[in-house]
Structure 1
Amino acid sequence: MSTSFTHTTTDGRTYTGRSNGVEPVAGTPLVVAIHGGTYSSEYFDIPGYSLLDRGEAAGVPVIALDRPNYVGSSPLESDDSIILANAAVLDNAIGEIWDQHGGEASGVVLVGHSIGGAIATAIAASRPAWPLAGLATSGCLVRVPAESAGAWAALPPIPMIDLPVAMKDQLMFGPADTLNDDMPAASYPSNTLVPKAELLDITGGWIARRAEICGRVTVPVFHRQGEFDHLWVTSPQEVDEYRDGFTSAASTDIALLPGSGHCIDFHRVSAEFEDAELSFAKSTASTVSASNASTPVA
C-alpha cells in the first residue's frame, strides 16, 4: 500500500508523489518512477497493476513523483524544451530525495514511461551528482507517425489539455485481447491534464535531440516497447535503431514486447513487465557508473 507525500526542495519547488514505504537497504536500489503525459504518479499505483506494490513484494523501495505541472507539483515553463527543463529540476529534486531518503541503497534506478522516459533519459545523459545505477524506460522510440505532430499542434491554444477519454483509450491501449476485463477503466484514476508544450516537444524537439542525448547515457539501459504502440512508429527495425543510439551505455536490454499497447503497465503483460523492470533494477546494485558520484552529495 502506497503513502502519499509532498517534498519541497531547497529552491522552493514542491513535488507530490507516492512511496511504497520499503526501507532502502544495502544491496538494493532506490527506484524513482517518472510518469508520462496525461497521467499522474498514480499511473504506477493502479491496484492490480502497481509497480509500487510489486516493488514492495520484491523488497525494492519505489518512489513515484508527480512531475512539474501535475497534481500538486510546482508549475514549470520553458521557452525551449519543456522535456529538458523537467529533467533539470527533477535532477535536483531526486538528488535531495536521495540525500534524505536513500539510506543504505546502492544507488538510484530511474523508471520512466513515455514522455517520462524521455525525461529520465535526459537526466541520465546529464550524469547527475547522485549515484545513478540504471535507466529503465518504455513507450518512447525514434519517430512518430506523420499525422501525430500535426494532431498535437492542432489542439486548442491553451496551456493544459484535457485529452478526451475515448481518444486516449485508442492511443494508449492495444487490442481487446491484450487487456484484462477491468481495463482501460481501471486506469482512469491516473488520468489528468497534460501541458500542450510536452506534446509538441516529444514529437518535435525531442526527436531531433534523441540520438545525441541517448549517446551520452553511460549506465545500463532497459527498455520495452509495446507491440501495438500507436504513438510511435513501432517495428523491430525501429527498436534496433533506438538501441543503436545508446553508444556509451554500460549495457542495453532493449526489445519489442508482444501483447501490449503504449501503456505496458496496464496490459495483461503488466506483471511480467514490471517484474522485469525490478529485476533489472536489482541487477544494477553493484554497477553504479564510475562517471557518477559514488557517494551522496553532502
Structure 2
Amino acid sequence: MTSSGRYRVLSDEQWARIEPLLPSNEGRRGHPFRNGRRVVEVIAYRYRTGIPWRDLPREPFVPWQTAWKRHRRYAADGTWDRVLAQLLAEADAAGKVDWAVSVDATIARAHQHATNTTRPEQDTGAGSNHRNRPIRAVEPAGHGIGRSRGGLTTKIHAAVDGNGRPLAVVITGGQRNDGALLATVLGELRVPRLGRGRARTRPDAVIADRAYSAGTYRRALHARGIKVVIPEKSDEITARRRRGARGGRPRTLDSTAYRGRNVIERHFALTKQWRGLATRYDKLAVTYRAAVILAACITWSRI
C-alpha cells in the first residue's frame, strides 16, 4: 500500500478490482504509467478535500502535474466510464442492481477559478459519448456552467438504483430544467452484460419528483414500458379537473414506491461530502464529470 491514514480512499480489495480496468502501457508511446494507485488516490484526495492541484502534498502522493495530467487523460478518453460500466456489469450479474431508478438533479456552486473562461449561450451537457477524442470535441459549449438564482452554477443530473448507487450522470449549466434532461440522463444509463447479450438500458421504474411530471416525459416512459412513479403538479390537477370528463382520469401514484425516492437525496448528500464536487473548481465540464464518475466507481467497487 502506498498511502495510508486520512489520505487513503481505496481499500486493497477495491484497488484489486479497479487496477485491471485502467489503461495499460501496452502500445503507448512515451513514459510508461507508474504509481497507478498513488495517482488515483491523489485525484480522489484532491476532490475529497477541494484543495488546489498545486497545493497537493508531494508525500505520500506523486507530483501534482502527474496527477492532473492523468486525470485529464482519463476524462478525455472515457476511462472512468469504462471502469464504471464493468463494475455495473459485475453487480448486475450478481443481482445487486435495483432497477427501480430514481432521477433528480442537484446544484453545485461554481468557484471563480472555474468561471474565468468564455461561455457561449448554448449548453448541451457533458455525457459519456466520448472515446479517445480530444477534450475540445467533447467539452460542451458552455463548459457546463450557467447562471441561475444561485449565481454561476453547475447542475449534476443523476440516475441511481433503488439503493442510491449511481448509474448515470450528466453535467449541465445550473439554469437547465430538470425534466428536459430526463431523456438525456436515461440515455446515459447502459449496463453491459458479462456474457452475450445487449446492454440493459431500460429500468423497471422511474421515480422522480414533480419537476418531471409533464405529460411528454410520462408518455416517453410509458412508450418504453417503464413504470412511472411521479406525482402530479397542483396546476396539472387543477387543469384536469377544470376540463371535466375531457381531462381524463387522475394519474395513479404508487405511494410506497415513491417513498423510495429519498435514496437519490442521500446519494447527493454523500457526493457533496467531496468538497471538490460540492463546489466546482474545474474549468472543464468533462474533468468535473470525470471526478463524479470516479466517486461512482469507488461506490460500486465496494459492492
Into which bin does the TM-score normalised by the smaller protein fall?
under 0.3
The alignment's TM-score, normalised by the length of structure 1, stands at 0.27
Larger-gyration structure (1/2):
2
